[in-house]
Amino acid sequence: MNVLIPSALRSYTQSSQAKACGATLDDVLLDLDRQYPGIRFRVIDEQQRMRRHIRIFVNGVSADALSQTMQPCDELVIVQALSGG
């Protein structure tokens, strides 16, 4: 499946898009990490939850759980929230 990569994580992929596969969202992130070591830790914290400043969308719908089932034709978008004052 196609994964759109935010600019803050492109130092890992060297591209705005990557290909990954897996039966669940967690599997897809693990596959990304196999290809681009360290990228998963920037998305998932030590408690195996999505980091507060990260949102993941699957086919335009916000993903709530790493156990979400994925299909090969899905499009995954990783979005990094902006903050500041």
Confidence of residue 14 (pLDDT cuts 50, 70, 90): very high
Residues 15-74 pLDDT 10s? 999 999 999 999 999 999 999 999 999 999 999 999 999 999 999 999 989 999 999 999
User: What integer pLDDT is reported at residue 83 of this predicted model?
Assistant: 63
pLDDT of residue 81: 81
Residue-range domains of the chain with CATH: 2-80 (3.10.20.30)
pTM: 0.91
Q: Check the CA dihedral 69-33-38-7 and report its sign.
A: negative
How is residue 28 written in tokens? 């897809």
Go through 41-61 and write b for each residue having 16 or more CB atoms within 10 A of its CB, e for each that does not. ebbbeeeeebeeebebebeee
d(C-alpha 85, C-alpha 50), whole Å: 23
**What CA–CA distance (Å, rounded) separates 22 from 69?**
9
